[in-house]
Amino acid sequence: MKRILILFAHPKFEQSRANRMLVNKIQGDSTLTFHDLYERYPHFHIDVNFEKELLLEHDVVIWHHPLYWYSCPPLMKQWIDMVLEYGWAYGPGGDALQSKKCLQVITTGGTKKVYCSEGKNVYSVNQFLRPFEQTARLCGMQYLPPYAVMGTHSLSEIELESHADQYLQIIDCLKNGQPVANLSECVFQDDIPQFNSNTLS
Amino acid sequence: MTGSILFEAIVFLAGAVICVPLAKRFGLSSVLGYLIAGIVIGPFLLGFVGEEGENIMHFAEFGVVMMLFLIGLEIEPKNFWQMRKTIVGMGGAQVGGTMLVSFLLFQLFDFDWTVSLTFSMAVALSSTAITLQSLKENGQFNTTYGASSFSILLFQDIIVILMLGMLPLLADTDSNTVTDDHGTASSLLDNLPMGFQTLAIVASVIIVVLAGRYLFVPMLRGVANTRVRELLTASALLIVLGIAFLMEMVGLSPALGAFLGGVVLANSEFKHELESTLEPFKDLLLGLFFMAVGASINFIVISENPVMVTSLVIGVIALKAIVLYAVAVIFKLKMDQRLLLTVGLAQIGEFAFVLLSFAFQIKILDKVQLDLMSVVTAITMTLTPVLAIVNERFILPHFGTKAIDDRPMDEIGEANKVILVGFGHFGSTVGRFLRAYGVEPTILDFDSNRVDLLRKMGFKVYYGDATRLDLLKSAGIENADILISAVDSPEITFNLVKGVKKYYPNVKLMVRAKNRYDAYELLDLGVENIYRESLDTSVKMASDVLAQMGFRRYTISRQAEIFKTQDEESMRRLAALPNDGESYIFKAREEMAQQEKLLEEDLKRGQITNDNHWDSEQMRMIIE
């Protein structure tokens, strides 16, 4: 069984309806490691060694956060800056994360219609997430097609619940080493460029 | 006119009180003021002071001893060891050069060779008292010039012992009666064989070093624990007097011994306390000494041989200056430093009086020669401050490099930029963090047990009461950028702040306050950076309580910052309100009123719910 680490970053989790639903669902699974970054590091002082050890103990890393201003909340970026060290995560001898899988799970207020060339945000979610995709790639990780819960403001409780179920299904797939692309009902933002390896396994 | 001790004291004190401020007013050094005062009250002008002038001089020489003790305190043993080459090199060159040239000159004037040698010894010596006093007064101690002067003077202090030892040998060739007079020499070891004398000297040096380590420091700690302030003064005097007595007993220079004692104690936590305790004694005694020198100028001798005296004075100063200039060139001093050194050490020093009168006692010199040379010595000493003024005003400006070379040649310890007062629970945390950052503050604390403990842990902590301005001064407040007050007692804090604000307004104050009421007073005193010990910790505690109750830590931490900022603002606002000036009897009531105002302000602001950042509910409402 693959070990899964969820790095969760939300500065105001207590007031996020969508994320509360998603997190409630997965927190029932004790085989997962749910790591709440804003709760652990309220002063942004990240314990780098602890984070590294955590990464080494897991096979799959999930970056779970809301999309703010087309990017992640600042503590998530701080985590990337501090933990993914040169010579450890990338660069010469930086192979600690080699061939781990990386999945980004995001929530957006805007709907899928807003995130396209005709919409007011012009670009797709994938295009906004390119920096993260390349970050994972530079660290030798397999970046999976991101899973996005979009238009959260207008989603009903039932719709949210079904998203949460899908999240659980994805995690199950990852746990058992099955390809997530097989989950036909999930809304993956799949336009990841194919390079040396098959990113969808 | 003379006789009673009281009258003499009044004469000397009045002379100082009148002449020194006058000299200062005309921009002259205090040394010159004292010397002039001495001349005025001396036997040839007002005649208030007569023959006893010499006794007073002998007594006042103790000021020089104290000064060297204090200088020793400034020099840590390892720095002293680094200076050894300069001391021997520059000092040796100066003494050797001056003696050689002046000996040849005196020979030219047909003096007996023993007299010539004695005179040349006297001429080679410079005045520690005058030079170091003006170095201190002008803040030139840490310049190349200062360090060079000090090195040369120290070498002279050492060499004068050899000179005094050699004089009887000169006398042997001259007269047979000397052996009878020999017993009158001051040292009690004179009758012992040479080898034993040397042994006694070495032993006494070792005694001073060991006593400094294992006797003085424990004694001072014991005294400090009694918290009786004057006992500390008494023990400081006891230490210096004890060393001086020991040195005189074995025939060493008391000044040199005191210097050694100072160096040994330089590393102790009592350094600053000793400095500020002895400073006033030293200053008074030195003033007395300078006045005695002025009073000793024998105008009868001058009027009898005006040409002789004038040419000797000019000749001696010129000769010393030339040799000093040559030494400065050899040791590659910069031009301005070179000139300062040349003028600064061109006088004959107070040791010459000792040397000459000893030579007279053992009949190397006759009365005329003694009087002549003593007068020359006193005049050159008097002229030094005058020459310094001439140099400073008319010569140095032409060399354009007046800027003080503040890189000390031999690392005489410089003051730290941050002074930390109070090293208790609060201050030690401040100090430890600064130290972890590579910032070593000068630490002052008045609990000697704590000081002792911390020193064992490798901290550099000094013992003393920081509300005393002289102590702050010796801790280097004049060069400090920041003074941190981490004192527990509000009264001491206020006194400290008032003193620093008044006398050192350029030093940035960062002050610990016990609570908001102390903070009000500090704001009133004009302190900008106030740190209430009760604020951060209590807010942190409340934050942790909220976190235990399940609130999100990041939100709490943001609110805590907002809360602290608002509390700070309301503190400044409430402090600005007029105080009804009622006495402290009503303090409790007043505090309740303050508390009420604070709570009111909190109410007006409302509960912390207006935090709309990242609020999806609001967005939902807008969308719907």
Instruction: Let me know if residue B544 belongs to a domain.
Output: no
Among B58, B497, B450, which Cα is nearest to B221's? B450
Residue B538: pLDDT above 50? yes
Instruction: Let me know if residue B542 belongs to a domain.
Output: no
Q: Residues 6 or more apart from B476 whose CB is under 8 A from it? A: B414, B415, B416, B419, B442
At B375, which CATH number?
1.20.1530.20
Q: How confident is the model at residue A101 (pLDDT cuts 50, 70, 90)?
A: very high
How much is the average pLDDT of B18-32? 79
Instruction: Let me know if residue B451 belongs to a domain.
Output: yes
Q: Are residues B251 and B307 in the same domain?
A: yes
Q: How confident is the model at residue A22 (pLDDT cuts 50, 70, 90)?
A: very high
Q: How confident is the model at residue B263 (pLDDT cuts 50, 70, 90)?
A: confident
Q: CA–CA distance from A69 to each of A109, B19, B457, B503 (Å)? A: 11, 79, 52, 55
Instruction: Let me know if residue B596 belongs to a domain.
Output: no
Residue A20's pLDDT is: 94
Q: How confident is the model at residue A184 (pLDDT cuts 50, 70, 90)?
A: low
Answer yes or no: are the C-beta atoms of B477 and B504 closer than 8 Å.
yes
Residue A107's pLDDT is: 95
| ipTM score assigned to the predicted complex | 0.80
Residue A86's pLDDT is: 94
Q: How far is B566 from chain A (nearest CA, A)?
A: 20
Residues of chain B with Cβ-Cβ distance to A75 below 8 Å are: 554
The answer to whether B437 contacts chain A (CB < 8 Å) is no
8 Å CB contact of B556 and A42: yes
* The total number of structural domains that make up chain B: 2
Residue B362's pLDDT is: 82
Q: How confident is the model at residue A55 (pLDDT cuts 50, 70, 90)?
A: very high
Residue B237's pLDDT is: 87
Residue A72's pLDDT is: 96
Q: Give residues 112 to 151 of A whose Cβ lies within 8 Å of B.
A: none
Boundary of a domain, candidates B399, B428, B461: B399
Answer yes or no: are the C-beta atoms of B281 and B65 closer than 8 Å.
no
Q: Are residues B160 and B284 in the same domain?
A: yes
Residue of A nearest to B547 (CA): A39
State the first-to-last Cα distance of chain A, in angstroms, to the nearest integer: 16
How much is the average pLDDT of B80-85? 80
Q: Are residues B222 and B277 in the same domain?
A: yes
User: How many CB atoms sit inside 10 A of residue B205's CB?
Assistant: 17
Q: Are residues B189 and B68 in the same domain?
A: yes
Q: Are residues B364 and B446 in the same domain?
A: no
Task: Tell me the domain boundaries of chain A.
Answer: 4-182
Answer yes or no: are the C-beta atoms of B235 and B448 closer than 8 Å.
no
Residue B192: pLDDT above 70? no
* Dist CA B103 CA B99 (whole Å): 6
pLDDT by residue (tens digit) across B98-119? 999 999 888 888 888 888 888 8
pLDDT by residue (tens digit) across B447-501? 766 776 776 766 667 777 777 777 788 778 888 889 999 998 888 899 899 989 9
Q: Are residues B38 and B149 in the same domain?
A: yes
Residue B547's pLDDT is: 92
How much is the average pLDDT of A141-166? 92
Residue A89: pLDDT above 50? yes
Which residue in A15, A42, A43 is closest to B616 by CB distance?
A15
Beta pairing partners, A61 = A5, A102
Q: How confident is the model at residue B609 (pLDDT cuts 50, 70, 90)?
A: low
Q: Are residues B330 and B373 in the same domain?
A: yes
3-state SS, residue A71? strand
Domain with B327 in it: 5-399
Q: Are residues B268 and B232 in the same domain?
A: yes
Residues of chain B with Cβ-Cβ distance to A20 below 8 Å are: none
User: How many CB atoms sit inside 10 A of residue B291's CB?
Assistant: 32
Q: Are residues B459 and B340 in the same domain?
A: no
Q: How confident is the model at residue B405 (pLDDT cuts 50, 70, 90)?
A: very low
Q: How confident is the model at residue A7 (pLDDT cuts 50, 70, 90)?
A: very high
Q: Are residues B436 and B393 in the same domain?
A: no
SS in 3 state form for B68-128? Answer: HHHHHHHCCHHHHHHCHHHHHHHHHHHHHHHHHHHHHHHHHCCCCHHHHHHHHHHHHCCCH
pLDDT by residue (tens digit) across B413-458? 344 588 899 888 899 899 888 888 888 888 888 776 677 677 676 6
Residue B282's pLDDT is: 82
How much is the average pLDDT of B526-533? 92
How much is the average pLDDT of A72-82? 96
DSSP, residue by residue, B543-595? HHHHHHTT--HHHHHHHHHHHHHHHHHHHHHHHHSPP----GGGHHHHHHHHH
Q: How many CB pairs under 8 A join A and B?
A: 50
Residue B247: pLDDT above 70? yes
Instruction: Let me know if residue B124 belongs to a domain.
Output: yes
Which residue bears the tokens 């007594």?
B59
Q: Which of A164-168, B340-344, B591-595 has the largest mean confidence?
A: A164-168
8 Å CB contact of B552 and A152: no
Q: How confident is the model at residue A186 (pLDDT cuts 50, 70, 90)?
A: low
8 Å CB contact of A42 and B623: no
* Residue B39, both tokens: 């001349």
**Which CATH fold would you assign to the domain A4-182?**
Rossmann fold (3.40.50)
Residue A147's pLDDT is: 92
The answer to whether B605 contacts chain A (CB < 8 Å) is no
8 Å CB contact of A17 and B616: yes
Residue B283: pLDDT above 70? yes
Q: Are residues B433 and B344 in the same domain?
A: no
